[in-house]
Amino acid sequence: MSRAPSTFRQQDVTRAVKAVVAAGVGIARRGLSRLEAAAYIGISPSKFDQLIADGRMPGARRIDGRKVWDVRELDLSFDDLPRDDSGAAPGNSWDDR
């Protein structure tokens, strides 16, 4: 029994995804969990929560009951953060806070 080449079955898609993962090819993800989003920005989850609360970072999107942060929105919000042009000496741990 032959099928048209443009017809995909779920099994075919699953097999293709498994092959990509086995080959070590990364799939760029657009949505991140809270912990991943905080790590992506380079801060702790609690600091990330503070930035969401004060509007400096975007809120999550909902996929059913799951909260997911959009990487593109994180990038835009990160770009809007102020730069530290104070000229403080690098390496001083008190200046990094």
> pLDDT digit string (tens) for 62-94?
999 999 999 999 999 999 999 988 666 666 666
CB atoms within 10 A of CB 49: 14
Highest mean pLDDT among 2-6, 37-41, 86-90, 92-96: 37-41
Is residue 12 included in any domain, yes or no? no
pTM score, whole prediction: 0.64
Under 8 Å between Cβ of 90 and 59: no
Token pair 């086995």 in the structure block, residue:
22
* Residue 36 structural domain: 28-80
Average of per-residue pLDDT across 9-17: 73
Q: How far apart are CA 81 and CA 77, in angstroms?
A: 7
Is residue 86 included in any domain, yes or no? no
Is residue 39 included in any domain, yes or no? yes
What is the count of structural domains for the chain? 1
Residue-averaged pLDDT of the chain: 84
Q: How far apart are CA 38 and CA 69, in angstroms?
A: 10
